[in-house]
Structures are given as C-alpha cells and as structure tokens.
Amino acid sequence: MRVNFVTGIFFVSALTAAGILTTAVIPFLATIPLIRRKIIIIVEIAIISISLLILYYTSRFYFYPYSFRGLLYVNLYFIASEYIDKASIVDVLGEAGVPIAVALSYYPYLTSIVRDVVFYSRARKKNVFRVTLPIIVQLVKSVQDIWITYNLKLFGNFRKDKIKITSSEIVLLLYGFATLCLSFLLKV
C-alpha cells in the first residue's frame, strides 16, 4: 500500500497530536498493525515492559507516557518511510521538491559512509578526529557525482501530476482520525 505525501503527513500529524495531547498509549497501539517487520514489534514490547517495570519499582510510574511517546515517534518514522510514495512529494512542492526528495534518498548511503569510516579508523587505531577527512572527501565526491546523475536522468521540462485520492488514502485518513478521537475518549 502506498499513499501520497499529503495523506501521509495528515496521518502522521494526527497521531503525533494524539501522542502529545494524551498519554500516547492509544496512538502507539494504533501504529502496531502498520509495522511490517515483526521483530520491531517484539523489541518494542520488550522495551515497554522493561521501562514500565523500572518506573514502577522506582515509584516514577507517572513518567510512562514518555516511553510510549518515544516509541510512537519511532513507529511513525517507519510508517512514513514504508507507506509514503516519495515521488508524490514533488507533486506537492513542485520542481523545488525534486532535489530535496533526491537528497533524502541518500540518507542510508551517507550513514553507511560514516559507519564504514568509523569502523576503519577503529580497526587502524586512529584518533577519532581523523574520521573527518575521509567522510568529507567522500561526501564532496558523491555530491558531484549525484549532480551528474541528476542532469543525465532529469532532462526535459517538469510537469506536476495531480494528487489522486485512492481508497487506501481514505482508509488511512479515517484510521488516523479514529485514533485521534479514541485517544481523547479512552482515558488510558
């Protein structure tokens, strides 16, 4: 299931608002069915259980909304990356949205550069500040290569597509709205 950028933002905003204005338990639970990787759910259940136990035994149980809120944001990030059709960002922001959408898709690559350089520096027992040079050189080289790719692939004149509302969009919007209402109605 893929939804357009606008629907995605409405859904994420509705759940974020519910998370901030209430105890965040309901919106957190509402995100669970939308997470595809079961391992994430198992880890989160473990985190919640441990947090609640610690809070209970340290007589700080009233802090529990923070645990749910933190994991709610994590889940919303996963849902946004999984379900939002990134190409639709440009239908909202126009041609100015294209470079931003392209840059965001390089996030995993950029983090992998940092991870690799840090690993290599540790393996060679280099001072941690030495990682700066290879990271920056690789970044600058990559930016120049990405610019060539951009020119080679995105030639011609930009045309916006109309944002279409499909049944998936309506389902997700209703789901977000229902979660928001339930969060206020059920005082969990």
Residues that bind other proteins (CB under 8 A): 73, 77, 85-87, 90-91, 95-96, 98-124, 126, 130-161
Which is nearer to other proteins, 39 or 123 (by Cβ)? 123
Residue 17 in contact with residue 182, Cβ under 8 Å?
no
CB of 81 to other proteins, least distance (A): 9
148-153, Cβ contacts within 8 angstroms, sequence gap of 24 or more: 150/99, 150/102
Q: Tell me, rounded to whole angstroms, the distance of Cα 135 from its chain centroid.
A: 24
Nearer to other proteins, 53 or 186 (CB): 53
What is the closest distance, in whole angstroms, from the C-beta atom of residue 66 to other proteins in the complex?
Answer: 10
Beta-bridged to residue 84, according to DSSP, are 3
What beta strand segments (E) does the chain contain? none
User: In terms of CB distance, is 55 or 99 closer to other proteins?
Assistant: 99
What is the smallest separation between the CB atom of 9 and other proteins, expressed in angstroms?
A: 10
Which position has the token pair 């390089």? Answer: 106
* Residue 185 CB, nearest approach to other proteins (Å): 25
- Give the nearer residue to other proteins in terms of CB position, either 18 or 131: 131
Could you give the angle at which helices 64-83 and 38-57 cross, rounded to 10 degrees?
Answer: 170
Minimum distance from CB of 102 to other proteins (Å)? 5
